[in-house]
Chain A
Amino acid sequence: MAYDKFTILKSSAVPLPIENVDTDQIIPARFLKATERKGFGDNLFRDWRYNSDDTPKKDFVLNNPIYSGKILVAGKNFGSGSSREHAAWAIYDYGFRCVVSSFFADIFKNNSLNIGILPVTVSPEFLDKIYKAIEADPKAELEVNLPEQTITILATGEKESFDINGYKKHNLMNGFDDIDYLQAMKAEIAAFAEKSLY
């Protein structure tokens, strides 16, 4: 699935300062029954976002009109649990292009990169600075600069660098995906398979 190129993203952010947000919260299992990749954004954080009668829960951040933007700022160990890529699809479909946290679960991080969401890991201290900036001004903007691998709180100029694997960075910046790469090396794979015990 090709996705949009990612270079520099300047946007306000939505704060979700909860730890260990698992994929069952991001998209509950009962919404995994589709056979196509669409419409998952409507059910992003479904049970935190809506009451059982489908009315919005007033105190949940996605229902608070003062917060908006393409960046989700979450507590540590974000995306733990299931390998369901539907969680990343729901985040993308809702309109987020970047998730910032001090710690991501492995499979979630991979899934995000594979569909064009940039997971940015910052220090716990910088995460706190971001929360404070949003607290001071809900419209406070962040700049995520992938070529330079930095994230900046524009109101204060506070900046931190983040790590990303060079191959993944190249893919994100160009909108390439792994399947293109693997298709180009099919002969090498076939030769490898010949020697395989199984």
Chain B
Amino acid sequence: MSTTPSTLFDKVWDSHVVRKIADGPDVFFIDRHFIHEVTSPVAFLGLEQRGLKVMFPEKTFATADHNTPTINQHLPVQDPLSANQLKALEQNSAKYGISHWGLGNPKNGIVHVVGPENGITLPGMTIVCGDSHTSTHGAFGAIAFGIGTSEVEMVLSSQCIMQPKPKKMRIVVNGQLNKGVLPKDVILYIIAKLTAAGATGYFVEYAGEVFEQMSMEGRMTVCNMSIEMGARGGMIAPDETTYAYIKGREKAPKGEAWDKALAYWKTLKTDEGATFDKEYHFDAADIEPMITFGTNPGMGIGITQHIPVSQEEGKGKASYEKSLTYMGFAENEPMLGKKVDYVFIGSCTNGRIEDFRAFASIVKGRKKADHVTAWIVPGSHIVESQIREEGILDILTEAGFQLRQPGCSACLAMNDDKIPAGKYAVSTSNRNFEGRQGPGARTLLASPLVAAAAAVTGVVTDPRELL
């Protein structure tokens, strides 16, 4: 080979640069644009004020998810502000000819769940959305990341954004995962090692046996949380697992178009000898079920460990102490046995069918702890159907749980699903920030297995004891 070896990220990025600006960003072409009701209205207003059109309406997909209620979705939305945003999305989509999956549409669900499950997300694409967890779509070997509302307006009006190219990081995890360890634990472990700012300025490629053996659902969970260590996004090279997941989905290429796409997808991998700006290696055997104890996703430990004593001084130590005070925890305490008030399974991180299968594997034959309120929220109507068809709903019902309707729900608590102040929630979502799940809410991030173990025992429990 005479060409210079390049990374997966370089291949996808460089093929989407329309123009390079000297001492400036790249004009970067976007293949797929997802929009939802919260970060798009002001962008549409901007278009109107400037008298601009949507350049390629067929490349944008709208779904309602952040604000939507998770019960009685057939009734009018009670909160007038939420109803207003949902109406704005519907009207703007209709006005500009954008496909819209609103409340009640059988395809409706969380944007990062419905994109992949309908075959809209494909390898080698560039994908953006006014939502930081757009990094989820990197699981397919796409460059996908969150943007602000000004950029939403840019994409609507020109299908491009102005982006400096990030630096490249590779995170390799080799070996076999232990029993009871899920993809969520893998990413919480990596973030705990790198910290909440450890990958800022970088785009991450995940490589190694652990990711090669992972399902697409698991890869999406991992890529979803790349943003939680500051990375712009994360990606995994497409392989047979990827192609098998995509094949036959509604909007996936078919026939000749499939063959053509597949030939391209097979070129999407990091060449031997390509270099990264930074590289980390971890051993799968070191990872146990994880849980967070603080107020950023980097503050996580193995579930059997004790809350660490701060190694920092000055402002760093003060920030750490502020965090523990908010959580009502102290240094050196164990996490096992801590009382749990709420359990939330769902979100774009863990609202896919595999997550509910894992949850049900522990719940089966047990009962929900009396004092625990559990919100079980599928990521989409399609996931909801799978839950019913696979008999998971029966297991949940027998154990005393109720299934809710799809949406972002208690992940960011923009709807009525808010954890009350001071209460503890084991949550499969992505952020444990102060007030994220409601003002004063205390969030412990964990996998669906850890969530299930907490839901049936009422305390933080090692799920391996219940498997």
Contacts and interface: CB of A to CB of B under 8 A. Distances in A.
A156 interface: no
B68 to A, nearest CB: 12
B319 interface: yes
A77 B261 CA distance: 40
B45 A80 contact: no
B165 to A, nearest CB: 12
B197 A182 contact: no
B150 A115 contact: yes
A83 B42 contact: no
Contacts of A93: none
Given A32-B38, A75-B315, A182-B154, A193 B414 contact: no
Interface string B139-159: 000000111111101100111
Interface string A136-150: 000000000000000
Contact of B45 (A35, A47, A106): A35
A80 B436 contact: no
A65 interface: no
B239 interface: no
Nearest to B298: A20
Nearest to A82: B132
A179 B296 contact: no
Contacts of B158: 179, 182-183, 185-186, 189
A181 B38 CA distance: 26
B227 to A, nearest CB: 8
Interface residues on A, range: 35 or more
B18 A192 contact: yes
Contact of A107 (B18, B147, B162, B197): B147
B381 interface: no
B122 A198 contact: yes
A103 to B, nearest CB: 6
Interface stretch (B48-56, B100-108, B350-358): B48-56
Contact of A28 (B148, B157, B435): B435
Interface in B54-86: 55-56, 59, 66-67, 79, 81-82, 84-85
A177 B150 contact: yes
Given A167-B21, A178-B162, A76 B435 contact: no
Given A18-B319, A81-B431, 6 more contacts: A18-B318, A35-B45, A82-B132, A88-B148, A111-B150, A196-B29
Interface of A: 1, 17-20, 22, 24-25, 28-30, 32-37, 47, 52, 75-77, 80-86, 88, 103-107, 110-111, 114-115, 165-168, 177-179, 181-183, 185-186, 188-190, 192-193, 196-198
Interface of B: 18-19, 21-25, 27, 29, 31-32, 38-39, 41-42, 45-46, 50, 52, 55-56, 59, 66-67, 79, 81-82, 84-85, 88, 122, 124-125, 130-132, 134, 145-151, 153-154, 157-164, 166, 196-197, 200-201, 227, 230, 232, 260-261, 264, 295-296, 315-316, 318-319, 322, 412-414, 421, 431, 433-436, 439-440
